[in-house]
Each structure stands twice: as C-alpha cells, then as structure tokens.
C-alpha cells in the first residue's frame, strides 16, 4: 500500500516551467453505503471491491496532489532564478550607463572649459581689434598702418580663430557621437526592461492562477478525506458492534463441535425417515439456520481482518493528511516569500526605469546646450 506514495516526478522538458492546469480525469464519486445488516449477523455493506475502490481513489488523489506540489515548487525555483538573472543584468546595465554618463559629463566639462577659454580669447581679439581701430582712426599714417595690419595682425587673428574653431568643432563632434551611443543604449535597455517586466508579470499571474486552483483542489481533497474518515469511522464502529454481538452470541451458545455431535445423528435419522412435505420444509429451515450459524462464526474472523485493515488505513490516512497539510503550509510560506521578492525587485526595476528617463532627459538637455553653443 505504501509503495504508491512519494513517487518522484520530474518535468519532461526544460521549458516546462509551469504545471499542467488540466483537471484530473478520474473525479469518481464513491458508491453510497447503506449500513444495514440482516438478522443473521452478516455485514452486507462491506464489500472488498468497494474498499479497494476507496483505497485506489485515496492513493490516486494523494499522487496527484504530490505531483502538483512538485511542479509548483519547480516553477517557484525557476521563477526565482529568472528574477535573479534579470536583476543582475539590469544592475550591470546600470553600471555601464553610469560610466557612460560620467564620460559624457567629463566631455561636457572639457567642452565648457574650452568654450570659456575660446570666449576669453575672442574677448582679447576684440580688444585688440578695438585698439587697432582706434589707432587707425587717430593715426595720420593710415597707409603704413593698414599695410602692417593686413600682413601681421589680421593673419595672426585668422590663424588663432581657425585653430580655436577647429578644436572646438572636434570636441563637439565627439560629444555628439557619445550622446548618440548613450541614447541608443538607453532606448535598447528600456525596451528590454519593459519586455522583461511584461514577461515577469505574465509569469506571476499564471503562477497565482495555478496556486489558487491548487488551494481549491487541496480544500476539496481535505473535505473528501474528512468524509472518508467519517465513513471509515462508521464502518469501524459497525464492525466492532458486530464483532461484539458475535462474541456475546458465541459465549451463550454451546461449542459448535458439541452442537454438531448432537444434531448430526438427529438429522441423519430425520433424513432416513419418510416425512410429509411440511416436515421436509421445517427440516430444511432448521438446516439452513444451522448453516447460517456456522457462517456467522466463520465471518467473525473476516470481520476482525477487515477491522485490522481499516485501522491501518485510518493511521495511513491520518499521517498522509498531516504530511499534506505540512507541505501546503510550507508551500504557502515559499509562495509568500516569492511574492515579496518579486514585488521588491519590481520596485527596483521601476526606480531604475525612472532613473533611465531622468538620464535621457539630462543627455538631451546637454545635447541641446551643445547645439546652441555650436
């Protein structure tokens, strides 16, 4: 009987992360029991096929519950592993984005420094041009001063302006390239994050549906076990009562061997004598009563055997029910812990997504400032 319990089960494929949601194909209804006994003391409602049906149904129900427990535990482990991998990947992406953002900030600071230096140089150049213009206006030797400006001053001014403009343009181009790369990475990570969050939400909803269905089936199975326990208790009580009645009857009656020694010669003489029809029927009735009395003594041992089996079944069912309740309690704890971890990581993902959006806005602002300065 115990060989059918604790059968290990494993998923057939790697992708089967969720237990099957199909309902069992053998939701059988137990045969009704009518505890009625005949006047002869025979137990008419205890049939071996009915007891076997009870045993088979109990074992089948327990195996299905153990299978669903195993599948849900595998699903919980796989979901936890997926969440951990997703969190690690997001953490690495966040670190890389922080590095890129730091590079952008450094480039921006360099460009701003170069821009300030360029402004200072332009102010100096404007001051020089202003002084030269004043000298030109006040100078009497305009031609000589004009020739000097064209050859020396204006050439130096053009060279300085071209160098500063070229260097500043290169810096701005580098900043634009880095910003474009960063925007592309942010867009890709945002799409990946949204896809992963949607996938995890789907898994969470499916796992919740499976758990709710399993809890309903567990409650139904618990009620069925309680009903079976009550029926077994009634059968046990009836068997004890019958055994007690048989024992009392056996104590009151003389030994069967003595009865046979007394009755056998009388029956033989009666059979040898020619009797009328009424006497024959009376003799047959007496013989039938004697046979029933013998069978009642024989059934006493059968009743004791059935009573022993029922007591063993009651112990096994009590232990199985206790084990099942303990597993359900542990599974509820694991499920609650998994939900808490999922909600915490989901909050982290949403915070990270908000940071991504803030980072994108900052990059766009920096890019707009660079375009405005350019």
Residue 258 has what pLDDT?
59
* Strands of 88-232, DSSP E: none
Residue range 200-236, pLDDT digits in tens:
667 667 766 766 776 666 666 666 666 666 666 676 6
Q: Which residue matches tokens 């990059």?
A: 363
List of residues 6+ apart from 316 with CB closer than 8 A: 1, 2
Radius of gyration from C-alpha coordinates of the chain: 48
Q: pLDDT, tens digit, for every residue of 75-118?
A: 888 887 888 888 888 788 778 877 877 877 777 777 777 767 77
CB atoms within 10 A of CB 34: 7
CB atoms < 10 A from the CB of 175, how many? 20
CA–CA gap between residue 133 and residue 127 (Å, rounded): 10
For the segment 265-284, the average pLDDT, to the nearest whole number, is: 65
Q: Give the CA distances from residue 96 to residues 17, 90, 103, 346, in Å, rounded to whole numbers and listed in that order.
A: 32, 10, 11, 21
pLDDT at 273: 61
Cβ proximity of 46 and 235 under 8 Å: yes
Name residue, tokens 């006047």. 39
Please, what sign has the CA dihedral across residues 61, 67, 70, 76? negative
Query: What's the pLDDT band for 6 if we cut at 50, 70, 90?
Result: very low
Q: What is the dihedral of CA 33, 34, 38, 43, to 10 degrees?
A: 20
Percent of the chain with pLDDT over 70: 41
Say what the pLDDT of residue 145 is: 46
Q: Which two tokens stand for residue 242?
A: 């019958």
The better pLDDT of the pair 276, 55 is held by 55
pLDDT of residue 5: 39
DSSP-derived secondary structure for 300-366: HHHHHHHHHHHHHHHHHHHHHHHHHHHHHHHHHHHHHHHHHHHHHHHHHHHHHHHHHHHHHHHHHHH
Out of 133-147, 170-184, 231-245, pick the least confident: 133-147
- Residue 15 has φ and ψ, to the nearest 5°, of -80, -10
Three-class DSSP category at 84: helix
CB of 128 closer than 8 Å to CB of 157: yes
Q: Give first-to-last CA distance, the chain, whole Å.
A: 86
Region 238-254 average pLDDT? 63
Domain boundaries, the chain: 55-373
Whether 196 shows a pLDDT value over 60: the answer reads yes
Please state, in angstroms and rounded to a whole number, the distance separating the CA atoms of residues 90 and 205: 22
- pLDDT per residue as tens digits for the range 157-184: 667 767 766 766 676 677 667 766 766 7
CB-facing half-sphere around the CA of 278: CA atoms within 13 A: 0
């Amino acid at each position: 009987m115990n060989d059918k319990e604790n059968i290990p089960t494993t998923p057939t494929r790697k992708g089967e992360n969720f237990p099957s949601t199909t309902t069992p194909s053998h939701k059988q209804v137990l045969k009704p029991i009518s505890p009625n006994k005949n006047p002869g003391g025979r137990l008419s409602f205890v049939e071996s096929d009915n007891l076997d049906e009870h045993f088979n149904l109990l074992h089948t129900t327990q195996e299905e519950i153990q299978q669903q427990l195993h599948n849900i535990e595998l699903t919980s482990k796989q979901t936890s592993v997926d969440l951990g991998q997703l969190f690690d990947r997001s953490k690495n992406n966040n670190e890389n984005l922080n590095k890129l953002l730091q590079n952008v900030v450094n480039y921006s600071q360099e460009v701003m420094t170069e821009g300030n230096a360029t402004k200072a140089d332009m102010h100096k150049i404007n001051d020089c041009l202003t002084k030269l213009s004043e000298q030109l206006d006040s100078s009497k030797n305009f031609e000589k001063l004009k020739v000097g400006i064209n050859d020396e001053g204006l050439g130096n001014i053009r060279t300085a302006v071209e160098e500063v403009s070229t260097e500043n343009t290169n810096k701005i181009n580098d900043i634009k390239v880095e910003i474009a790369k960063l925007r592309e990475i942010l867009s890709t990570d945002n799409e990946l994050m949204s896809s992963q969050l949607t996938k995890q939400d789907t898994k969470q909803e499916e796992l919740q549906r499976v758990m709710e269905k399993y809890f309903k089936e567990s409650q139904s199975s618990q009620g069925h076990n309680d009903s079976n326990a009550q029926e077994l208790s009634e059968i046990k009580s009836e068997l004890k009562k019958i055994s007690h009645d048989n024992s009392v009857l056996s104590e009151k009656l003389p030994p069967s061997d003595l009865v046979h020694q007394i009755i056998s010669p009388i029956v033989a003489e009666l059979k040898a004598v020619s009797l009328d029809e009424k006497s024959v029927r009376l003799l047959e009735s007496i013989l039938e009563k004697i046979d029933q009395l013998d069978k009642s003594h024989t059934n006493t041992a059968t009743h004791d055997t059935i009573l022993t089996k029922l007591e063993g079944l009651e112990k096994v069912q009590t232990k199985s029910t206790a084990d099942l309740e303990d597993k359900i309690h542990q599974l509820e704890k694991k499920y609650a812990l998994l939900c808490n971890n999922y909600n915490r990581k989901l909050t982290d993902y949403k915070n990270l997504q908000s940071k991504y959006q803030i980072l994108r806005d900052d990059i766009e602002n920096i890019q707009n400032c660079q375009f405005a300065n350019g």
